[in-house]
Amino acid sequence: MNATQVDLSVKVGKLELDYPTFMGSGCYGSGEEFAPFVDLARIGAVVLKSVTRLPRLGNPTPRLVHTPAGMLNAIGLQNPGIEWYLEHDVKKFAERPCAVVGSVAGFSVDDYAYTCERLAARDEIAAIELNISCPNVAHEGETFACDPNLTANVVRAARATTDKTLIVKLSPNVTDIAGIARVAESAGADALAVINTVRGMAIDVETWKPRLGNVTGGLSGPAIRPIAVLAVYEVARAVKIPIVGQGGIETTSDALEFFLAGASAISIGTGNFTDPRIPVRIADELAAYLAARNVASLRQIIGKANVGFANPYQYEGDEG
Amino acid sequence: MNATQVDLSVKVGKLELDYPTFMGSGCYGSGEEFAPFVDLARIGAVVLKSVTRLPRLGNPTPRLVHTPAGMLNAIGLQNPGIEWYLEHDVKKFAERPCAVVGSVAGFSVDDYAYTCERLAARDEIAAIELNISCPNVAHEGETFACDPNLTANVVRAARATTDKTLIVKLSPNVTDIAGIARVAESAGADALAVINTVRGMAIDVETWKPRLGNVTGGLSGPAIRPIAVLAVYEVARAVKIPIVGQGGIETTSDALEFFLAGASAISIGTGNFTDPRIPVRIADELAAYLAARNVASLRQIIGKANVGFANPYQYEGDEG
Amino acid sequence: MLVGLHAPELVRVTRPGHFAMVIPPSGERAATALGIYEAHGERASLLFFEVGKRTRELGSLKIGDQLGLLGPLGNGFTLGQARNVAIVAGGVGIASVLLPAQAALAAGARVRLFYGARTKELLVERERFANEGCEVLVATDDGSDGHRGYVTDLLANAHDKPDLILACGPTPMLRAVARVAGEINVPAQLSLEETFACGVGGCWGCVVPLVRTSAQAPSFPPAERQGSDVVYARICKEGPVFWAHELRW
Amino acid sequence: MLVGLHAPELVRVTRPGHFAMVIPPSGERAATALGIYEAHGERASLLFFEVGKRTRELGSLKIGDQLGLLGPLGNGFTLGQARNVAIVAGGVGIASVLLPAQAALAAGARVRLFYGARTKELLVERERFANEGCEVLVATDDGSDGHRGYVTDLLANAHDKPDLILACGPTPMLRAVARVAGEINVPAQLSLEETFACGVGGCWGCVVPLVRTSAQAPSFPPAERQGSDVVYARICKEGPVFWAHELRW
Ligand SMILES: Cc1cc2nc3c(=O)[nH]c(=O)nc-3n(C[C@H](O)[C@H](O)[C@H](O)COP(=O)(O)OP(=O)(O)OC[C@H]3O[C@@H](n4cnc5c(N)ncnc54)[C@H](O)[C@@H]3O)c2cc1C
Ligand SMILES: Cc1cc2nc3c(=O)[nH]c(=O)nc-3n(C[C@H](O)[C@H](O)[C@H](O)COP(=O)(O)OP(=O)(O)OC[C@H]3O[C@@H](n4cnc5c(N)ncnc54)[C@H](O)[C@@H]3O)c2cc1C
Ligand SMILES: Cc1cc2nc3c(=O)[nH]c(=O)nc-3n(C[C@H](O)[C@H](O)[C@H](O)COP(=O)(O)O)c2cc1C
Ligand SMILES: Cc1cc2nc3c(=O)[nH]c(=O)nc-3n(C[C@H](O)[C@H](O)[C@H](O)COP(=O)(O)O)c2cc1C
Ligand code: FES
Ligand code: FES
C-alpha cells in the first residue's frame, strides 16, 4: 500500500477531520500565530485559548518555567472575555483552513453555560471544548474535573446549550479518571480530551521563591507522556465516546502510543514549542507507518494495544 | 562560615541522622549493592526494598522502561517473604554504617500489621516505612494510599505493633494528597514519605504491546520532580510531622527545592541509577550552600519557600 | 559561542532587535530564544553562552550541521532620527545590539556602547563593536576591566547626553536603565528577556505589564471595561523591545 | 562508535563478559550498560551504536573528556577446558565477545566467530577478530555479505562441532542459539540483554526466569516454599552470562 492511499481521517462527535491532529488549547493561539511556519490545512483542528465570561488579566509573572523534559505553566486564562471575543476575534477564525474548536472555561455552572452558548452559536466555531480542568485558576486544586458531581452539573448545563460537538477536557489530578470520564459521558459529552496538565511546582533556590507567580502550575510535555498514555488507556476502557489524547506528544511513535491506547485523535501542545513542524511530520509519518503495515485507515488501530500478557510463573504471595 | 561547620543532621521521628539523605526503597537493594561505589557512612539511611508477608516472585518481564527524563518500573514487590527475610537477610544489615529502614508492603491490614511487627522487632532495623502506595500490585489503581479509610486503618494497625519510627509513604495518584496526609498523621504516623511513583504506561509501537509485563507501572525520575515538590509543599502545610521528600532528585538544587517546600529529609531513588555519587555530592554541596549564606543548620531552611507574591493587577474576571 | 548560519532568507528580512526561536536538535526541550547577532549577505549568526541544557546542546553543533529556526520574530528597535545613540548591553544582551549599532552608524549617528558584565572574560565581542565604529565603555562587577560597578553608573555619569537609549540585558539592569533614562530625560527602548515557550504569541506565557494606552497591544478590550489600566503584553509578539515609559514594572 | 578509555584500574579486574554502567555526562537519564570491548594494559574501550539518546550523547564525547563508569560488573563467561569454541555474536553483541575470544585463543583453543547483522555495514570490527586469530563466518539478513539469513543457520550447519558456545546478541538470536545448542548437544553460555536501571543488583528490574536449582541465585527461599521451581534472577548481578539450559524463557 502507498502512504497517499492511507485514510487518516477521524470523527470526533460530529466533527469530521482529514487529519487526526488537534493543536492544544492555550498552546497555539488561534492558529494564526503559527501559520507562517506550518500549513494549517495539514492539521485537523486548532483548539482556541480558553475564554471566560468576564475578561481576565491572568496570573502574575513569571508564568512559565522549563523542567526536565517538560514545562510548568500558569497563564491563568488571560483572555478578553466572551463579549469582546465574539465582537473582535471570532470572525477572523473563518479564514483558517482547518477546523476551529472553541474552548470555554469558567468558575460556576452558569459561567460555563453562558459562555458555551454564546460561543457555540457562532458559525466560525466547529465544536466546543469544555476546559473543566485548568489547574491554574481554582482554589486548592479543586477544579470541576476533580469532583464527579461538579463534572456532571457543568457538562449537563453546557450540553443543553448547543448541538455542536462537545468535548470535555479531563484532569489527571484525580484518584480515578475513568470514573470522572463515565460521569462526563453520561452527562452528555460527545468526546473527551485526556489529559490536561498535571499540577506541579518549582522553587528558585537562589531567591527561595516559587518560580511561578501563581506558585503552582501545570506540567506538560514529554515528561507527562506515560501518565497521559495510561489515562487514555483507562478512559478508553470506561467509555464509548471518542478520546482526544494528549500529553507530551512530539513524534509519530508518541502519537501511535495514544492511538493504540484508545485515542481517536491526538492533540499537540507543548510539542509545538519544540518544533512547530511536528503535527505535519506526524501526519506524513503516520501514513507511512500504516502503509508499511497494509493498514488502510488510522481508525483500524485505535485501541488496539495488545495486553494479552500471560504471567507464567507465580508464588503464593503473588496472588495477594 | 565554613562548610564543615554546617549541621546537616535531621530528625525524622526518633531517627536522628547525620545526613538528610534517604536512599529510596526498591532502588538501593540493602545498600550493599552500592557500597563499592559510595561511602555509605556519608548517607543518612537506606530504605530497604519492600517486604511482604508471603514470598512474591513479582511481575513478569519487562519490568523497566526508560521514558523522557524518567523511567517506568513494575517490579511487583519481588521478595522472599518476611520469614526467610528475617532468617537470612536482616542480620547482615547490622554491618551498614548508616541507618537501615525496613519497608513493609501488604494486601490487607492484617498483612501490614503482621509484617511490620515482625520486622520492627529486630534491632538491625532502625525504623519502618509503610509502603501503602506501590502502584504495581493493586487492582485498578486502588492502593491503600488512595482511600482515606484504608489509610487510617492500616496506619493505626501498624502503629499498634511498634514504638519505632513509623514513616508512611503516600501516593501522588490521588485528588487530595494533603487530605490523606492528615489522615495518616492522625492515625499515628511519625513521618511521611512524599511521593511514591506516579502511575503511567508506555506502549511499544512495533509490537503494539505494553512495554511493561505488568501493563502499567510507576513513573519516577526528574520528570516527576515538579509533581513531587508540589506534593511536599501541600502536605507540609497540612501536617506537623516531618516529611521525607522524594521524586526526581539528582542535584543539590533539586534537593533544596524539597527542603524549601517543607521536607525535613530527602530520598534519592532513580537518581542513583544516573550516578551513585549523587547522595554524597548533595551532602557536600548542601553544606557549602548553607555556609555561603551563613546558615548554621539545614533545619533552618525547611519549609522556608517564600510565597509572598503580590498580585498587583486584576480585572473583574480574575476574581472568578 | 558564536554560531554562523548560512541563511540568506533570514538575513533579508531581519531588522535590528529581531530574535529567532532555535529548534533543539534532539527534542524534549522547548526552542530557545536567541537574538540575531549578525545578519549580512548570506550569513547570520547567533551568539550565546552555554549556560544550560539547551545552549550546551547548541554549543555541540558541528560545522555543516543543519539547524531549524523560526524567525526573524518580534518587534525590534526603532532608531527614528536619533543622532547620538547610547547602547547599553549587559552580559549576553550584547547579542541583540550589534544590528542596531550598525544601523545607527550607517545612518551617521554617534554610537556609544556601554557594556557591562560580571567579569572581564565575559566582555565578549567588544573589539567587534569598536571596529564597527562604536565608542566602547565597559564596566565589570569585580573591577577586572573598566569601571568597577554597574554599567548604568557610566550611563548616568556620561557627559554628553544621548538622544536615544537602546538596552538589552538582565532585567535588573534594564530597570536601572529605565530609571536613569527617566532621570536624564532621554527616551529608552528596552529589549526584555523572559522565559519563552512558543515565541510567536501563541501561549501568553511571556508577558509584561504595560500601560494600556500603548498601541502595542491593540487586540485587548479598553481599560474602562477592565477596572484596570494595565495590560499584559507578550514580550515575544508585542516586544521584545518596549519603550521604557510604557512598562508597568 | 569505539570509545577508548585510559582506565588501568578497570583493566586490571575486568574478565571476559564483564560490563560497565556508563554515567551519562548530563544527568536526567539512567546510566547505560555497555560491554567492555577491549581491556589491555592501561586501555579499555567501549563499542556501541548511536541508537538512542544516551548512546548519542556518549558518541559526542571528545578526546580528553572524563567519563564516569561503574565496573567491571556482573558474572562473565567461563571457558573451562574448552578446545573448540564457537562464539556467536549478533549486531552490537560483538562488543562483549572480544575478551572471551582473546582468552580462548590465549589458552590455545580454536575460536570460530559466527557473526550476524542486518546488513554488511553493521558487521563492524570483523577484521579485528580475524587478526586476533579467529575464523570469522558472517551472515546478514539481506545477504549483502556472507550467508543470507540467520547466523544460527551457520552454527547449526557447522561441520566441526564445537565443545563450547558463547553468545551475545539480541534475545531472538540467543533463543535460537539455545535451541541449536540443545540440538547439537553443546553447552552454551548466553550473555543476556535487558533494560537496566541500577546495573548493580539493587532494583530487581532486569530479571530473567531461571530454574531454581541454579546456584546463581542463592539468596532466595527454596522451591518447596514457593510452589514454583522458578526464580527471577537479576541479569546485571547473577548474569549477564547464563547457561542456556538454566533459562526458563
Ligand atoms: C528575546 C530573547 C532573546 C535572547 N537572546 C539571547 C541571545 O542572543 N543569546 C543568549 O545567550 N541568550 C539569549 N536569550 C536567553 C536565552 O533564551 C536563555 O539564556 C536560554 O533559554 C538558556 O537556555 P538553556 O536551556 O541553555 O538554559 P536553561 O536550562 O534554561 O537555564 C540554565 C540556568 O542558567 C541560568 N541562566 C540563564 N541565562 C543565563 C545567563 N545569561 N547567564 C548565566 N546564567 C544564566 C538560568 O537561570 C538557569 O539556572 C534570549 C532570550 C530572549 C527572551
Ligand atoms: C549487559 C549489557 C551489555 C550491553 N553492552 C552493550 C555494548 O557493548 N554496546 C552497545 O551498543 N550496547 C550494549 N548494550 C545495550 C545498551 O545498553 C543499549 O543499547 C543502550 O541502553 C541504548 O541506550 P540509548 O539511550 O542510546 O537508547 P534508548 O533510548 O534506550 O533506545 C533507543 C531506541 O533504539 C532501540 N535500540 C536499542 N538498542 C538497539 C540496537 N542495538 N540496534 C538498533 N536499535 C536499538 C531501542 O529499541 C529504542 O527504540 C548492553 C546492554 C546490556 C544489558
Ligand atoms: C502554556 C500552556 C497553556 C495552556 N492553556 C490551556 C488553556 O487555556 N486551556 C486548556 O484547556 N488547556 C490549556 N493547556 C493544556 C494543553 O492544551 C494540553 O492539554 C496539555 O499541555 C498537555 O499536552 P502537551 O503535553 O502536548 O502540552 C495549556 C498548556 C500550556 C503548556
Ligand atoms: C525500580 C524501582 C523500584 C521501586 N520499588 C519500591 C518499593 O519496593 N517500595 C517503595 O516504597 N517504593 C519503591 N519505589 C519508589 C521509590 O522509592 C521512590 O519513592 C520513587 O521512585 C520516587 O523517587 P525517585 O524519582 O527519586 O526515584 C521504587 C522505585 C523504582 C524506580
Ligand atoms: S512565548 Fe508564547 S506568547 Fe510569548
Ligand atoms: S538493573 Fe537493577 S537489579 Fe539489575
Which of A104, A201, A237 to mutate to test binding with chain B, by most B CBs within 10 Å of its CB?
Answer: A201
ipTM score of complex: 0.95
| Count of C-beta atoms within a 10 Å radius of residue A172 | 26
- Closest residue by Cα to atom 23, ligand 4, is B247
| Least confident stretch, A143-147, A170-174, B9-13 | A143-147
Does B98 qualify as catalytic in the annotation?
no
pLDDT tens digits, residue range B269-315?
Answer: 999 999 999 999 999 999 999 999 999 999 999 999 987 656 667 77
pLDDT tens digits, residue range B158-207?
Answer: 999 999 999 999 999 999 999 999 999 999 999 999 999 999 999 999 99
- Give yes or no for residue C243 having a pLDDT over 70: yes
pLDDT tens digits, residue range C116-157?
Answer: 999 999 999 999 999 999 999 999 999 899 999 999 999 998
Which chain D residue shows the shortest CA-CA distance from B28?
D202
pLDDT tens digits, residue range A53-71?
Answer: 999 999 999 999 999 999 9
Rounded distance between C-alpha atoms, residue D93 and residue D231, angstroms = 26
Interchain CB contact of C185 with B (< 8 Å) = no
**What confidence score (pLDDT) does residue A141 get?**
45
Which chain B residue shows the shortest CA-CA distance from D220?
B80
Look up the CATH number of the domain holding residue B51: 3.20.20.70
- Give yes or no for residue C216 having a pLDDT over 60: no
Higher pLDDT, residue B96 or B136: B96
Rounded distance between C-alpha atoms, residue C199 and residue C32, angstroms = 9
**What confidence score (pLDDT) does residue C225 get?**
59
**What confidence score (pLDDT) does residue D242 get?**
96
Q: How distant is the alpha carbon of residue D177 from its chain centre?
A: 13
Ligand nearest to the CA of A244: 3
**Can you name the CATH fold of D84-191?**
Rossmann fold (3.40.50)
Interchain CB contact of D148 with B (< 8 Å) = no
Mean per-residue pLDDT over chain A, rounded? 94
Each residue's pLDDT expressed in tens, for chain D with a length of 249 residues = 889 999 999 999 999 999 999 998 888 889 999 999 999 999 999 999 999 889 988 888 888 888 999 999 999 999 999 999 999 999 999 999 999 999 999 999 999 999 999 999 999 999 999 999 999 999 999 989 999 999 999 998 888 899 999 999 999 999 999 999 999 999 999 999 999 999 999 999 999 999 876 554 555 666 555 667 788 999 999 999 999 999 987
- Give yes or no for residue C57 having a pLDDT over 50: yes
Mean per-residue pLDDT over chain B, rounded? 94
- Give yes or no for residue B239 having a pLDDT over 50: yes
Q: Does A169 sit in the ligand 3 pocket, CB within 6 Å?
A: yes
* E runs forming strands in B125-276: 127-131, 165-169, 191-194, 198-201, 216-220, 243-246, 265-268
**What confidence score (pLDDT) does residue B140 get?**
44
- Give yes or no for residue B141 having a pLDDT over 80: no
How many separate domains does chain B show? 1
- Give yes or no for residue A25 having a pLDDT over 80: yes
Range of the domain at A301: 3-316
- Closest residue by Cα to atom 3, ligand 6, is D201
- Give yes or no for residue C27 having a pLDDT over 90: no
Q: What are C198's three cell numbers?
A: 512558543
A309–B203 CB contact, under 8 Å: no
**What confidence score (pLDDT) does residue A195 get?**
97
Share of chain A above pLDDT 70, in %: 96
Q: Which residues of C touch B68 (CB under 8 A)?
A: 28
Domain boundaries, chain D: 2-59+67-73, 84-191, 207-238
| Catalytic residue set of A | 134
